[in-house]
Structures are given as C-alpha cells and as structure tokens.
Amino acid sequence: MWYSWDAHGSLSGKSREECIAKLNAAAHATREFLQNADVVFITLGTAFVYFLKESGIAVSNCHRQDSNMFIRKMISVDHATEALKSIVQDLQKIKRQEGCENRDLHVVFTVSPLRHMSDGAHNNTLSKASLQLAVEKLITGYDRHAEGTIANPAPTISYFPSYEIVMDELRDYRFYDSDMIHLSKVAEEYIFERMAESYCDEKTLDDIKQVEKFLKSANHRIQDANSPATAAFLQKMHAEAERLEKQIEGLQLR
C-alpha cells in the first residue's frame, strides 16, 4: 500500500498513482471548500507529536507502521505557535488565490476537552496548557495590519474556550460518558449552544433550529416502508429538505 504521512488512511492506494490521485482530489475539494468558508474552526487535541526517527519530520498518521520508526514527544509552546501560524498563513494563501471572491476569513481555535489519559494526568495537563499558551501567543502577536491589505484582508483569529467550559462549568458526572473521559451528549449540546451564541447571528441560530428539527424528524424510525402514511411522510420530508436548501446557502440534506 502507498500512503502519505500527512493524510488519513482512506487516501491510501494500492499503487502510487492511485494514492496520488486520491490526495490530489482531496486537496482540490478541501481548497474549494475553504475558499467559500467564512469561518474555520480548528480543534487542537494534544501537544504530543510523532516524528520520523530517520528524518525528524512530523507525521499526522503513522499508518500502523513499526513503532520503532517514530519518536513521540511533546513539542514546545514556541514550536506549536509556529505551526499554528503556518496554518493561518496557508489558509490566507487559499483565500487570496485567483477566483476566490470571498476573501474574509475568521479562524477560531479551540482546545479539545477530551483528556488524553494514556499520557497520564500530569502530561495531559501540560499538553493542554501548551496548546492554550500557543494559541494565546499567536493571537497576541498576530499583526493584522502587517499581514493584510484592503484587497486581501488578514484573517481574524480568536479562541473559543471549549476546554475551559468543561473544566469549569461541566464538572458533574452527568456530563461524562461511562468511561469518565469522553463527554456525554448533554455536554456536547451545551458546548455547541455556547459556541452558537458566541459566533452566530439570529438568522443563523434560527436556521440551526430548523435544520435540527428536520434531522430529528428524518431520523424517525419507519415501521412500515410500504404504507401510505410512510409515503406521505417521505414526500413531506423531501419538500422540507428542498425548502431548507433554498433558504440556507450551501446546505445539502439530500
């Protein structure tokens, strides 16, 4: 199998050509999506990174290769800051490419509240703190006037405190799954509501409610697929999906 250290396993191929074709298609689709995006949320999980021993290059996916090929270590705050700055600059380049009409971009960083307990409680705390400090250093040191012009504005960068919300506000057991590490559905919904309140206007909030209502109905378990009632229900849902897709730009429900 052929694969890339930077890509998900689904982009691997039985031949070099197949792998490259998948990578190019994914890159094209991602670039097209980002050019149309107004806001990009980036969730950071851990400051521990795998590096190839032979070259020292960081890898995103080890593809279940021999562990002796890698070294795993926690990167410094400065290293993490430079990595995040590189991400912002790459997003900025995509938005400035010819043919991209919407050049405004808001990048929102957040740190995942999911604890990596396999590293131990202390190392997990150090890892999360390193990510928080890196984001803070990036935001406070980012000069929008130096990075942008009127024609090509620099991205707005902010931080959403999902990690802090869980640690400070959702400390009850009911906000965790049975393993006491993953969050419960109640906690996930709470964080999403806080995020929506922070970044969405009234129209978007109303659109979210309508889509949630539609998805709840769409997930309704059908008892008899051949009944007239089921046919009427599916027709109604098709019409509602069509209405929402016309109302909300970029929405795809069918």
Q: How do residues 198-239 score in pLDDT, each as one tens digit?
A: 999 999 999 999 999 999 998 888 888 889 989 999 999 999
**21 — pLDDT class (breaks 50, 70, 90):** very high
| Length, in residues, of the chain | 254
Contacts 24+ apart (CB under 8 A), 4-12: 4/61, 5/52, 5/57, 5/59, 5/60, 5/61, 5/62, 5/63, 6/59, 6/60, 6/61, 7/60, 7/61, 8/61, 9/61, 9/63, 12/63
Residue 23 has pLDDT above 70, yes or no: yes
**160 — pLDDT class (breaks 50, 70, 90):** very high
Residue 147 has pLDDT above 70, yes or no: no
Judge contact between 12 and 3, C-beta under 8 A.
yes
pLDDT tens-place string over residues 174-199: 999 999 899 999 999 999 999 999 99
pLDDT tens-place string over residues 88-101: 999 998 988 877 77
Residue 146 has pLDDT above 90, yes or no: no
Which residues on neighbouring strands pair with residue 70, listed in sequence order?
Answer: 52
**Could you give the CA distance from residue 254 to residue 220 in angstroms, rounded to a whole number?**
16
Q: Mean pLDDT over all residues of the chain?
A: 92
Q: Average pLDDT in the 54-75 region? A: 96
pLDDT for position 144 = 64
Domain boundaries, the chain: 1-34, 36-160, 210-254
Rounded to an integer, what is the distance from CA 63 to the centroid of its chain?
Answer: 21
Put simply, whether the predicted model's pTM sits higher than 0.95 gets the answer no
pLDDT for position 151 = 62
Residue 50 has pLDDT above 80, yes or no: yes
Burial tier of 128 (Cβ tally within 10 Å: 0-12, 13-18, 19+): buried
pLDDT, greater one: 33 or 154:
33
Angle between helices 228-247 and 202-218 (to 10 degrees): 160
